[in-house]
């Protein structure tokens, strides 16, 4: 501790688990928005990632509330948020946005998309597997062209509803922080927008990585047209995201209100590594530079793959650092603007690194199971010798 903090402020309230929560939700929203490009805006190039993006979104969405649950003082009371919500609370309403998104958008869209496969698998599988698929059909075995046309139409409408829902989902996470007037580090109307675009950036980067990784693991050729398109979208959304973040920064510096000295001090000391080094240089400027090179010059397939993979990894790091800097950074200074505290992450306590790492691995495990049950691959060609493993 340095300077003066209100005595109750010394202890940080929101830990690394609360850093994970916007990070995971952001990945969901981003992955879904990428998926919807193909469905609503007919960007045919990204079709190979459509189903993978949906499953990725679902896997991460299932895990997203777990860090919150683990963080609560009384997890057994968490259902009260649904049963007796306080309508003025951003957090309470988020519960409903989450549920709406999970049940009304994502699950329905995935079911419609996979219905034909589910029916086929229900007919061809036996034992437990057959039982599972028969249950998943929900009793509907009609896969006539007319029925599939209806599926497609309804799916399109769901996606159309899904896009604003995904915006709402992550914009709302931003609002939870942005509406706290007591905390100048959080309190800005730009927060939901910045959260939304950073969500898109991280989600697109994740799907890009997952696509490359799963293709390499299955030894099938990567559709470079698809990869180039995703990388291009990553670049565009990243430019918007970076512009918004810089706008916020410049605004703060120029306005220099009562909190500025305190925040400025923090960025130069306690947050220097995570904000300046990781978030801005390594996690934003580096991938932006790499991606802009691929837009300006023509590189070979092997080089492009490496650059894209590298950019996506750096991007994910940068967005995680951004969530860290928002959540943890917002608690390192006193609301008296006269002092600073520090955050030491525990290792194996309930809110330590170990549960955080477990929660970060869990969505991948869920995704693995989802891919096994609902294989997202459609009509691919095997990789040429030596073509895989480039990434």
Partner 1 sequence: MNVSRRQILLLLPAAAVAWEYVLADNPESSPNFKMSDHWWGMLIDISKCIGCGSCVRACATENDVPETYFRTWVERYHVSDWHIENPEVDSPKGGIDGFPQSKAEGGKNFFVPKMCNHCVDSPCSQVCPVGATFHTPDGVVLVDYEYCLGCRYCIQACPYGCRFFHPKKRTADKCTLCYHRITKGLTTACCEACPTGARQLADLKNPNDPIHAFLKTHTVQVLKPHLATGSKLFYNGLDGSVR
Give the binding site for partner 1 (CB under 8 A).
4-11, 13-14, 68, 71-74, 77-78, 80-81, 84-86, 88-92, 95, 176, 180-183, 330-331, 334-338
Residue 317 near residue 324 (C-beta atoms within 8 A): no
Cα distances (Å, whole numbers) of residue 7 to 11, 188, 211, 299, 339 = 9, 26, 49, 57, 11
CB atoms within 10 A of CB 388: 18
Residue 195 near residue 26 (C-beta atoms within 8 A): yes
Nearer to partner 1, 86 or 219 (CB): 86
Q: Which residues contact 372 (CB under 8 A, 6 or more apart)?
A: none
CB of 171 to partner 1, least distance (A): 17
Nearer to partner 1, 238 or 337 (CB): 337
CB of 247 to partner 1, least distance (A): 24
CB of 6 to partner 1, least distance (A): 3
Nearer to partner 1, 182 or 296 (CB): 182
CB of 94 to partner 1, least distance (A): 8
CB of 259 to partner 1, least distance (A): 11
Nearer to partner 1, 72 or 247 (CB): 72
Q: Which residue has the tokens 């220099």?
A: 256
The three-class DSSP label of residue 142 is coil
Nearer to partner 1, 93 or 148 (CB): 93
Nearer to partner 1, 24 or 288 (CB): 24
CA torsion through residues 194, 18, 21, 226, sign: positive
Question: 3-state DSSP helix/strand/coil percent for the chain, to nearest 5?
Answer: 75, 0, 25
Q: Which residue has the tokens 């390594």?
A: 282
CB of 354 to partner 1, least distance (A): 21
């Amino acid at each position: 501790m340095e300077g003066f903090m209100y005595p109750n402020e010394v202890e940080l309230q929101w830990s690394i688990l609360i850093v994970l929560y916007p990070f995971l939700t952001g990945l969901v929203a981003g992955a879904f928005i990428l998926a919807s490009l193909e469905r609503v805006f007919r960007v045919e190039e990204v079709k190979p990632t459509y189903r993978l993006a949906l499953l990725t979104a679902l896997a991460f969405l299932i895990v997203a509330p777990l860090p919150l649950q683990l963080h609560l003082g009384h997890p057994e009371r968490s259902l009260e948020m649904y049963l007796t919500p306080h309508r003025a609370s951003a957090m309470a309403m988020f519960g409903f946005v989450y549920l709406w998104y999970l049940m009304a958008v994502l699950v329905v869209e995935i079911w419609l998309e996979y219905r034909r496969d589910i029916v086929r698998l229900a007919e061809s599988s036996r034992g437990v597997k057959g039982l599972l698929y028969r249950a998943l059909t929900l009793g509907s075995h009609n896969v006539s062209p007319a029925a599939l046309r209806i599926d497609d139409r309804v799916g399109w409408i769901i996606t159309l509803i899904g896009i604003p829902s995904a915006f709402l989902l992550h914009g709302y996470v931003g609002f939870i922080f942005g509406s706290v007037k007591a905390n100048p580090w959080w309190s800005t109307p730009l927060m939901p927008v910045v959260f939304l675009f950073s969500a898109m950036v991280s989600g697109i980067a994740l799907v890009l990585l997952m696509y490359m990784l799963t293709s390499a693991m299955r030894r099938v050729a990567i559709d470079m047209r698809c990869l180039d398109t995703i990388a291009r979208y990553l670049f565009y959304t990243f430019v918007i995201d970076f512009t918004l973040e810089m706008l916020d920064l410049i605004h703060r510096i120029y306005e220099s209100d009562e909190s500025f000295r305190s925040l400025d001090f923090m960025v130069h000391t306690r947050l220097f590594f995570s904000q300046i080094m990781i978030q801005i240089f390594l996690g934003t400027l580096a991938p932006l530079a790499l991606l802009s090179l691929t837009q300006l010059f023509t590189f070979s397939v092997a080089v492009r793959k490496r650059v894209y993979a590298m950019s996506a990894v750096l991007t994910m790091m940068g967005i995680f650092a951004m969530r860290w800097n928002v959540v943890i950074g917002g608690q390192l200074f006193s609301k008296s603007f006269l002092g600073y505290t520090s955050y030491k992450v525990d290792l194996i306590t309930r809110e330590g690194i170990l549960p955080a790492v477990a929660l970060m691995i869990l969505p991948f495990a869920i995704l693995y199971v989802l891919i096994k049950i609902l294989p997202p691959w459609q009509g691919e060609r095997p990789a040429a010798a030596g073509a895989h493993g480039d990434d």
